Chains A and B, each alone.
Chain A
């Protein structure tokens, strides 16, 4: 049996393991390993941006349908009655600015800016409240995506991933 195995490997009738193949695999591995760091960083940023998009959608749904957690509801009941009515809120796009390495957290700092639209809501303070909610959910979703809820505060500000730290600028209403 052992003799048979040896013969088959040496035979290599179908050219499964020629020298060229091994060289190609070798070079591919070297290139892949050198790209892994960059690729994983890009993948992480991509995952965070996707999470922020999902979170922003969560926030816009909450604002749009006027469904709020109890504390926010009670606050709006006092000062922002308009927000207790449903309104149309749309997330247009999410930009980010790379602000370089944060000396405090030793991670790359990314600032997110969410662009949204709510044509029927004119009051600036009401829009601020809605924007804060959208930003809150965007940061929350990033933390949930990377399981870093325990590293940040109750406002999820800043939000952490493995190599990045995320903050949010005020929502730009268009």
Chain B
């Protein structure tokens, strides 16, 4: 019968409410801006941590294989993506380099011979989502090499 806005018996749309909503919106928008920045930082940090972990894991496996003697091997499963980004791992005689999203991380290792099992190259690329076997092999009478082969 009556127009509900004119009645407003519960006073749910009074001036106090509108002013409160205005302040709430201002505060919320500034908090959202801060939260958005922090979330981006967290995601980036998470990706950096995962990248560093991969790099250290491969370098550690190479050290363990090399120091454990002929025939010792370790199998490593590479993650398919690092927080949604493609990556590439490059291993050579001085360490392990991981490249992801325009950034690079490097893990040093003690100088040793590294080779691809099939191609005998001294620099090996490890691709996302694949499994690799890292094996200690004797190449000459006294010389050992760490061979990386795709599983």
The interface of chain A, by Cβ under 8 A from chain B, is 1, 4-5, 8-9, 14, 16, 25, 43, 47, 50-51, 54, 57-58, 61-62, 65-70, 73, 77, 84-86, 141, 144-145
Number of A-B contacts (CB under 8 A): 71
Shortest C-beta distance, A42 to chain B (Å), equals 11
Q: Mark B49-72, 1 if CB is under 8 A from A, else 0.
A: 101100000000000000000000
Q: How far is the CB of B37 from chain A (nearest CB, A)?
A: 5
Say if the beta carbon of B117 comes within 8 Å of chain A.
no
Interface membership of B106, Cβ < 8 A? yes
Choose from B11, B14, B15, B103 the contact partner of A67 (Cβ within 8 Å): B103
Secondary structure type dominating chain B contacts: helix
Query: Across the interface, which residues of B come within 8 angstroms of A47, CB to CB?
Result: 30, 33-34
Report whether over half of chain A's contact residues are helix, strand or loop; otherwise say mixed: helix
List the 10 closest pairs (A to B, CB-CB), nearest first: A73-B104, A67-B48, A67-B105, A54-B37, A65-B48, A84-B106, A65-B52, A61-B45, A67-B103, A50-B34
Are the CB atoms of A8 and B34 closer together than 8 Å? no
Q: Which residues of B contact A25 (CB under 8 A)?
A: 15
- A54 to B105, Cβ gap below 8 A? no
A68 to B30, CA, bound (A): 30
Distance, CA A61 to CA B9, complexed state (A) = 56
